[in-house]
Amino acid sequence: MDKALGEWTLIYVRNRDLTFRKLVKHEEHLTKGYIDFHFKDKIQTYIIIDRIDNSLFDTIKEHDTNVAVCLNIEDNFKFLIKNWKKFSEIKNLSFIFVNLKLNERWVINPHTHSMVADPLSIETGLKTMFDTANGNVAEMKGSKKKLSMFEESSTSNDEGEEE
């Protein structure tokens, strides 16, 4: 288990629990590469894996609710895309891709994401989240004039005209 990634995970989970205060304790299984977080209503296993590989599938089978915490690197992103179908069939699996240098992360649950996202745009959307966590923010292209939410379009003929 990557020590820095493990420490980041401990801080992340504790901070997320500040509002609900459901975290009871945690158990570190350093040799096995995961941390069990015991909440009042569930146990969640955070698998700390700097580079995702096929061994992740075996580790997932051993636990009910899994969160894979990995580095936000190109190899891990490619592995996610290559195995998207397999991952999307696992209901209780989420990923947290972490950029330790920028303290940025993105979270995805492949099962849920597959149900709501357009299959043709999944890779593009995931790539955008991957790039953003690496500090590469893409600017939206569009018209230079920003419309106000209350501004009427000049092409609207609905109001004030009789037919």
Establish if 117 belongs to a structural domain.
yes
Establish if 94 belongs to a structural domain.
yes
pLDDT higher than threshold 70 for residue 4: yes
Q: Tens digits of per-residue pLDDT, 139-163? A: 655 555 555 555 555 454 555 544 4
Q: Mean pLDDT over residues 27-47, rounded?
A: 95
| Complete edge-to-edge strand list for the sheet that includes strand 34-39 | 23-29, 34-39, 43-48, 66-71, 93-99, 104-108
Establish if 162 belongs to a structural domain.
no
Q: Tens digits of per-residue pLDDT, 71-94? A: 999 999 999 999 999 999 999 999
Q: What is the pTM of this model?
A: 0.82
Establish if 31 belongs to a structural domain.
yes
Total structural domains in the chain?
1
Establish if 73 belongs to a structural domain.
yes
Q: What rounded mean pLDDT belongs to the chain?
A: 88
- Name the residue range of residue 26's domain: 3-133
